Amino acid sequence: MRITTLNPPFLPHYSRGQRSPAVTRSGTLYFPIWLSYAVGALEQTGYTVQFLDSPAMNLDWEQTEEKIRSFSPELIVVETSTPSIISDVQTADMLTETGAVVFVVGTHPSALPEETVLLGEKFHGAILGEYEKPILAVAAAVEAGGSLNGIPGTAIRTESGAEVIPPNGYIQDLDSLPFVSSVYAAHLPVERYNNPNALHPQVMIIGGRGCPNQCSFCVFPQTLTGRHYRSRSVENVVAEMKWVQENMPEVQAIFFEDDTIAADMQRLRHLSSEIVRAGVTISWTCNMRATADYETLRQCHSAGLRSVCVGFESGCNEILASMRKGLKTDQMVEFMNSARKAGVLVHGCFLFGIPGETRHTARRTLDFALNLNPDTAQFYPLMVYPGTDAYADVQKAGLLVTSSWRDWLKEDGTHACVVKTPDMSPDELVEFCNYARKKFYLRPGYILKKAWHSLFDKGERHRTLLAFRTFRKYLFRRKK
């Protein structure tokens, strides 16, 4: 059977696959990683799969439709996101005219299954949560010409609405899935994807799914993967790293998209030692919680870890408690000192607008970021998505300010703000983030440090220039 999986057209360079989908200021374009894992599972089962990533392949709607019609699939799976959901379901509806069965997937339908199905009029349903298992069940039903009703992890359109059957658990044996990097190599223009925190070109893989921490705003654990950490074996992860090194020589780095690779510190140290033992020399980057100790960071660095993305979020312990971060600022300072000593670069993430935020706490967070002085930083207003505790919190507090899912983005596709605080409007939160960004990046000492680093490090020079090419127009933009 022939199956099309589609990351559909929306806005040019729209990064749908990241936690906060948008057209990013830094030029980030995420791999459609969850869709890619599903493609691997489908191909492993024997299906013939067409994989189209329209934003990365620069395909408009007409070009996308033409490619799909020429492939003649029996099943089409369409990736979605909250800001693009209206466009996504319209795409799904139009694709039913090909005669295929059409399903949507992603965090938004997982959080709001019935509402998502009813946003459209024709497409057949939604696949919910971590979707390799239900997508295989749907494909088997379509191939057999059987009923789509009653499949766990689906919401099926009915005459009166939608029948929602919750998922029946997560994949426990993650080693059973094919290497997602092999899917990229076979289907996608790898050089067009970029996360500025890693060397370019890069591939993005997952060593473990789910997160045991309780951060209120993080969307993947609350809608797709759960709050229990499941990991691939260290040997399986290292085997994929070695596969990339041997089969994708153009790739300069691997980015681990785990919510936090430090969920199991002992496993992380074991991973580092196995990377060295296996002779893997490719650079790697990961998301990491600010709990890793110096010795773990040192071992990781000796095994090729170049940089980490860390959610510091706030410089105020009361705000950290409000977002259920489970960390305090003194732990973050200790982590930053350990990372610097270990030679690991840190990209710090800071957000503004959690219930309880004031102008005073926002300024404290900016001062905290300047004192931490990570290698790079991002400053964003709180982005809340359906299915998260943060979304429920701001709704309950009357702090959600929106009339449309499209409000999550500005007209140009960059992040907007749909929350307010008692003394800061959405526009003020966005403007403060712009101010914080300029305050951080336009320090003379910082500019000199980055120039010096880039002068002697070719990979760093390429990475920095690639990000600056798009970032500069936002960094130097005057306030209207």
Residue 308 tokens read as 């980490």
d(CA 264, CA 230): 10
Mean pLDDT confidence for 309-335:
98
**Is residue 117 predicted with pLDDT exceeding 50?**
yes
- pLDDT score of 478: 54
- What's the fold here for domain 2-165? Rossmann fold (3.40.50)
Class level of CATH domain 198-443:
alpha beta
Beta strands in 277-426 (DSSP E): 283-287, 305-313, 345-352, 376-381
- pLDDT score of 403: 84
- pLDDT score of 285: 97
For the chain, the domains span: 2-165, 198-443
Give percent of the chain with pLDDT exceeding 70: 94
More confident residue, 240 or 447: 240
Give the tens place of pLDDT for each residue, 404-424. Answer: 999 999 999 999 999 999 999
Residue 480 binned pLDDT confidence (cut-offs 50, 70, 90): very low
**Is residue 474 predicted with pLDDT exceeding 70?**
no
- pLDDT score of 369: 98
**Is residue 122 predicted with pLDDT exceeding 50?**
yes
A 10 A CB-CB count for 478 gives: 4
Instruction: Enumerate residues 6+ apart whose C-beta is below 8 A from 419.
Output: 353, 381, 382, 384, 394, 399, 400, 401, 426, 429
Residue 148 one-letter amino acid: L
The CA distances from residue 459 to 28, 29, 340, 383, in Å, are 17, 18, 19, 31
Q: Coil, strand, or helix at residue 104?
A: strand
Q: How many distinct helices (H) and strands (E) make up the chain?
A: 19, 15
**Is residue 457 predicted with pLDDT exceeding 90?**
no
The residue assigned the tokens 């943060």 is 390
Residue 310 one-letter amino acid: V
- pLDDT score of 467: 53
Residues making up the chain, counted from first to last: 480
Give the tens place of pLDDT for each residue, 223-237. Answer: 999 999 999 999 999
Residue 442 tokens read as 């336009």
Mean pLDDT confidence for 174-196:
97
**Is residue 473 predicted with pLDDT exceeding 60?**
no
- The pLDDT mean for the chain works out to 94
Residue 449 binned pLDDT confidence (cut-offs 50, 70, 90): confident
pTM of the model: 0.93
Flag the least confident range among 120-134, 351-365, 448-462, 464-478: 464-478
